[in-house]
Structure 1
Amino acid sequence: MKQLSRFALADEFSAHIGDDGTWSAEIDRSWWGWSGPHGGVIAALAVHVAGQTAPDATVRALDLRFVGRPDDGEVVLTPTVTPVGRSTRVVDVVIGQRGGAIATASITVGRVERSGAADIIDTSSDDVPRPEDCAPFMIPPEIVPMGGHLDLRPVDGPLPLTGAPEPWMRAWISTLRPMTVDAAYLALLADCLPPAVFPTLTAPMAVPTVAFSMHLAAPSDDPGPAPILVHTRNISTSGGWSVDDTTLRDERGRLLAAARQSRRVVGWADR
């Protein structure tokens, strides 16, 4: 699974800036999730635009809210920068489509200092098999088209729709088209596993993301393409809402990012 060449995620979606400072990108139907464009793609594009808008800083956090229903085709991303102190900025990005907003994102960027002896680095001690020792699992692209873009290798835990007693999944994930491991790529991967409640079900249900946040931790040793260990866990499903926590780690077990999603439970399936 080790990839050697690099490819920017933004190139996959033809993301480019216009003369007025707004960005355009194309999301085709191969990047759809259950019923529309994959939310991780929209989050990743917002992060990319923020990073390009403040190129002298590093993305540290993302807060995204869906305010409309996305569709395939062109999306327009409009960034606005607000300085916060000497070296921190907030880049607000409005993601629009066909003249209306579908999502808003607030991305915090700032200067990253040199590592020091007092650093606290979250490194997992879990003994997990290496990516090349795990069998691939294909998310059926006829059901979830974006599954056709992924090399997904479950590590342990239950699989989706198996009626398992525990709501969590863990897998090595990379895109089939090798991409640089940066903040935008991590935002994409943070949303690539099914909702963490799915292992407890025997048929799918609609649980669209309403709010998505991600916080960057230790920087990657090497931004070159590499599989990322994605561990997602459902911490609450009740009252028509479902909350997932997700961690993303490198092959050394170092925490690269942590994410949380609030999802609306639209319809339950038979369990």
Structure 2
Amino acid sequence: MKQLTKRTLAEEFALTETGTAGWQARVDRSWRGWTGPHGGVIAALLIEVARAAAAEPLPVRAVDLRFLGRPTDEVLTFHATARAVGRSTVVVEVGAEQDGSPVAGASVTLGRAMASGVADYAGAPAPRVPDPDSCAHFALPPEIVPVGVHFDIRPAAGPRPLTGADEPMMCAWIELVPELPTDAAALAILADALPPAVFPTLRAPVAIPTVALSMHLHDAPTESSPVLVRTVNASTGGGWSVDDTSIWDRSGLLLASARQTRRVLG
């Protein structure tokens, strides 16, 4: 299901500027998660708006996002305020609304690369797993998660969802369909592509929506997609669950790490 040319995220979701510090986008129904537009897509759009609102094209370094309401299939509107912090950093506060009600808000930190006397460290290397071409495809059931049609998932290690396993983790090669440039926005979608990390320990699906997501960017990919995504449950209890996710490119370079706080509704 690959395309010959990559679409940009703005093209995929018709993200357009509507006026001073204003934007709008529409997420079609094929990008729905459990009950509405996929959370990773909302995060990606907030990142794209932040990049557009910044005075210069600096790399995205960190994202801190909170979901404030349940999004629907209606048009999303965005507003953003950028503030320079010193000479190397810009922080953009971004909000998403529908019909005047807040849906999500994020603080996106962008920063230029600068020389440093501290030695570089590329982060933890990728785990040793089979090459993506050696891994079988796995499809999320579209009747439960329609957005699954946009994820080419090839499990590489760990248990599968809903198998009653002992280990709350999953690890898979993942590629977006259609393929999008592997930038900060696409990484936000990929960080939310797998089910909650407790799903392998379950036998039936349970609604476990994301309430808060933080993502930190480490490096730009040196190779094309797919990327290796590993999500591990850090803790679950009292109706809440916390997942940690890491993303590497095919060379083993750490691209991003994310943490999600989720509500357990079942």
Same fold (TM over 0.5): yes
Structure 1 runs not aligned, ≥5 long? none
Deviation at 1:125, TM superposition (A): 5.5
CA-CA distance at 1:126 after TM superposition: 2.7
Distance 1:123 1:4 in 2: 33
- Quote the Cα distance in structure 2 between the aligned partners of 1:73 and 1:115: 46
Please give the alpha-carbon distance, in whole angstroms, between the structure 2 residues aligned to 1:11 and 1:212.
24
Measured in 2, the distance between the counterparts of 1:94 and 1:47 equals: 10
Partner Cα distance (1:115, 1:16) in 2: 37
Correspondence for 1:124: 125
How far does residue 6 in structure 1 lie from its aligned partner after superposition? 2.4
Supply the distance in 1 between the matched residues of 2:152 and 2:264 (Cα, whole angstroms): 28
Partner SS, residue 27 of structure 1 = coil
Partners of 2:3 and 2:178 within 8 A in 1: no
Q: Does 1:22 align with 2:9?
A: no
Instruction: For residue 52 of structure 1, give the secondary structure of its aligned residue in structure 2.
Output: helix
SS in 2 for 1:79: strand
2-structure distance, mates of 1:263, 1:171:
21
Q: Report the TM-score when normalising by structure 2.
A: 0.95
User: Partners in 1 of 2:136 and 2:115 — Cα distance?
Assistant: 38
In 1, Cα distance between the equivalents of 2:132 and 2:7?
20
Distance 2:141 2:180 in 1: 22
Going from structure 1 to structure 2, the CA distance change for 1:229 and 1:27 (only over 3 Å counts) comes to same
Find the counterpart in structure 2 of residue 63 from structure 1: 64
- Mapped pair 1:40 → 2:40: yes
Contact 1:123 1:252 in 2 (8 A): no
Partner of 2:114: 113
C-alpha separation in 2, matches of 1:175 and 1:115: 35
| Shift of residue 94, structure 1, vs aligned partner | 0.6
Tell me which residue corresponds to 2:11: 11
Q: Which aligned pairs between 1:120-269 and structure 2 lie closer than 5 A? A: 120-124=121-125, 126-221=127-222, 225-267=224-266
User: 1:100 aligns to what?
Assistant: 101
**TM-score, reference length from structure 1:** 0.93
Residue 73 of structure 1 aligns to a residue whose secondary structure is coil
> How far is the alpha carbon of 1:138 from its aligned partner?
0.7
Distance 2:42 2:81 in 1: 17
1:189-226, CA deviations, whole angstroms, 9 ceiling, x for partnerless residues?
A: 0000000000000011111110000000022225xx51
Larger CA deviation: 180-189 vs 80-89:
80-89
Structure 1 residue 115: deviation in Å?
Answer: 9.1
Structure 1 residue 34: deviation in Å?
1.2
Query: Alpha-carbon deviation of 1:114?
Result: 6.2
- Letter of the aligned partner of 2:6 in structure 1? R
Change (3 A) 1:200 1:52: same
Task: For 1:259 and 1:30, locate their aligned partners in 2 and report how far apart those are by CA, in whole Å.
Answer: 24
1:82 Cα deviation from its structure 2 partner: 1.5
Deviation at 1:251, TM superposition (A): 0.4
Distance (Å, rounded) in 1 between the aligned partners of 2:178 and 2:57: 27
Identity %, equivalent residues: 55
Query: Could you tell me whether the CA contact under 8 Å between 1:28 and 1:73 is conserved in 2?
Result: no
Structure 2 counterpart of 1:258, one-letter code:
S
| Deviations 1:210-256 (CA, angstroms, capped at 9, x unpaired) | 0000000022225xx51110000001000110000000000011110
Secondary structure, aligned partner of 1:6: coil
Q: CA deviation at 1:9?
A: 1.7
- Root-mean-square deviation (CA, aligned residues, Å) is 1.8
User: 1:4, CA displacement in angstroms?
Assistant: 5.9
Offset from partner CA, 1:42-75 (integer Å, 9 cap, x none): 0000011111222331110000001111111210
Segments of 5+ residues of structure 2 without an aligned counterpart are none
- For residues 3 and 133 of structure 1, do their structure 2 counterparts lie closer, same or farther at Cα, with a shift above 3 Å needed? farther
Report the more deviating stretch, 69-78 or 38-47: 69-78
